[in-house]
Amino acid sequence: MKHANAIARGVRPKEGAIANTDTPQPPARPARRDLTQGPIAKTLLLFALPTLGSNVLQSLNGSINSIWVGRFLGEGALAATTNANLVMFLMFALGFGFGMAATILVGQSMGARDVIGARRAMGTALGLFAIISVVIALLGWLFAPHLLRILSTPADSQALALAYLRVIFLAMPPMFIGVLLTMGMRGTGDSVTPLQLMILSVILDAGLNPLLIRGIGPFPRMGIAGSATATLIANYVVLVVGVAYIYLKDLPIRLRGSELRFLLPNPALLKVILVKGLPMGLQMLVFSFSGLVMIGLVNRAGVDVTAAYGIAQQLWTYVQMPALAIGAAVSAMVAQNIGAGRWERVGRITRAGVITNVVMTGALIVIILLFDRPIFALFVGGNSPAIPIARHIQLIGSWSFLLFGATLVLFSTVRANGAVYAPLIILILSVLVGRLGFAAALLPHYGTDVLWWSFPLGSAISLGLATAYYRFGDWRHPGMISQVIEEEVAEHSQADGEPGGRLNPGG
């Protein structure tokens, strides 16, 4: 109890102190890659590159599947998948936040060499995700028609969208759990296995799409439902392979024997995951909402401008990927180092993340600006009037991703210690108030260029506020593990009992 109280107050026990716990601790095993040791820049880059590869493959998979649907079934079917995928994105936004919270707990536990703590956090998250995903799958199947009507899905696409969306909802359990497992692997320092699983997913999903859509060979002809079924099969297969790999390699997040009880959500862990995960999920919803408002403003400028904005966004999807990968790497590294008590490395990791982002994202922006005309021509043809507009948008807006990447690194650092409300508030101020307010107020007076300049303006506001919070904010308080222990100590002190089987970050 004394040891737990020390941790709850933010006081780390002396080197070599033994944790007092009712759960037997196995010998401490290192993560797949110990992110608390070695050269920071090299470790960051080696961790980020596989994550970048996973992100690229995921986007390519979506593009390839859209091509199959569009070529085989036409524009109506493509519009149907677009509407259905919007529903899925909204579902995953909150799930992503909860997964990030669990990943941070896993990372801090691994940094503290507390394997049992990492398994408890993973078990609680798995139990939560299993319940949520099954409920969403059942409710989604029942209420899919109502969701499509709320989205004002075109009448001629509703039947196709319904057939597609209902199958996709059945794929929710393996999707949610699979995403959580890969995020957990990254929390332990392993970013290579998620890449390998993503490669398998893309091969299965993209490969089965045409076979099930057209009924080629022994496969049934399923139309648009075949595209969704390919996704469903790919996700279930990848989940089975991923779980098998975790147990064959005896990865730190595996559960065996008495540890299977960790799948019953622990109240203290569950509270931290929900309280910390909800704001991170809401951050994705802020971006989603701002995107919907922005496209509404762009649509007022006519078809050519809307088409130009659409193809510019296709390239922006790839421009932001280095920042997302570097942010994930920074989050995992900072979480492990905070868990290990190595605060002297946290600032260096953040600086390395910012510099790496500037180099990688800056190089990608330059390459795209040099070759954007032939790339745009792939989407709309070389003589389209949308191309010069798209190039103009690209020239103004692309540089905002340098600022976005730096902001993301700062957010990843503070969130790795459980500071999640300040980033949400900063995004609301910079994106909803700054970017959209600027665009909506000045658009009638200065024309469409205001829309494109709103991107660097919003990014500059968010970077300024994020930098101020990183330097002067109170995010350096005891980490999320300590908050879990505080909850458990408070609960058990009221019951005059010793908390059993708790996390022990200092062990």
Give residue-wise pLDDT tens across range 206-234: 999 999 999 998 899 998 889 999 999 99
The helix, strand and coil proportions of the chain, stated in percent and rounded to the nearest 5, come to 80, 0, 20
Tokens of 436: 């959209």
Q: Is the pLDDT of residue 7 over 60?
A: no
Cβ proximity of 483 and 96 under 8 Å: no
In which band, very low, low, confident or very high, does the pLDDT at 453 lie, cut at 50, 70 and 90? very high
How far is Cα 461 from Cα 438, in angstroms, rounded to an integer? 12
Q: Is the pLDDT of residue 15 over 80?
A: no
How far is Cα 19 from Cα 30, in angstroms, rounded to an integer? 18
The mean pLDDT value of the chain amounts to 82
Q: Is the pLDDT of residue 266 over 80?
A: yes
Cβ proximity of 326 and 44 under 8 Å: yes
Cβ proximity of 412 and 334 under 8 Å: yes
Residue 92's alpha-carbon distances to 16, 46, 184, 444, in angstroms, are: 41, 27, 16, 35
pLDDT (0 to 100) of residue 494: 45
Burial of 66 (0-12, 13-18, 19+ CB in 10 A): middle
* CA dihedral (177, 182, 183, 187) positive or negative: positive
Q: Is the pLDDT of residue 423 over 80?
A: yes
Is the pTM higher than 0.85? The answer reads: no
Tokens of 370: 């040099």
Give the contacts of 303 (CB within 8 A, at least 6 positions apart).
Answer: none
| Residue 384 main-chain phi, psi, to 5 deg | -70, 135
* CA dihedral (183, 184, 188, 194) positive or negative: negative
Q: Is the pLDDT of residue 3 over 80?
A: no
Cβ proximity of 235 and 228 under 8 Å: no
How far is Cα 104 from Cα 283, in angstroms, rounded to an integer? 17
How far is Cα 80 from Cα 501, in angstroms, rounded to an integer? 49
Other residues' Cβ atoms within 10 Å of the Cβ of residue 331: 27
* Percent of the chain at pLDDT exceeding 70: 85
Q: What is the residue type of 188?
A: T
For the chain, how far is it from start to end, CA to CA, in angstroms?
13
pLDDT (0 to 100) of residue 67: 77
pLDDT (0 to 100) of residue 155: 75
In which band, very low, low, confident or very high, does the pLDDT at 134 lie, cut at 50, 70 and 90? very high
Tokens of 28: 């401490």
Across 85-89, 117-121, 122-126, least confident range: 85-89
* CA dihedral (348, 350, 351, 353) positive or negative: positive
Inter-helix orientation angle 400-415/449-472, to 10°:
30
Residue 460's alpha-carbon distances to 45, 453, 455, in angstroms, are: 25, 11, 9
Start-end of H helices in 215-266: 224-248
pLDDT (0 to 100) of residue 91: 75
Q: Is the pLDDT of residue 27 over 60?
A: no
DSSP conformational letter for 343 = G
Rounded CA Rg of the chain: 23
Tokens of 485: 């222990």
pLDDT (0 to 100) of residue 365: 92
Tokens of 504: 């022990």
Q: What is the residue type of 34?
A: D
Q: Is the pLDDT of residue 2 over 60?
A: no
Higher pLDDT, 301 or 122: 122
Other residues' Cβ atoms within 10 Å of the Cβ of residue 488: 21
Query: Does residue 417 sit in helix, strand or coil?
Result: coil
pLDDT (0 to 100) of residue 58: 85
Mean pLDDT of 65-83: 73
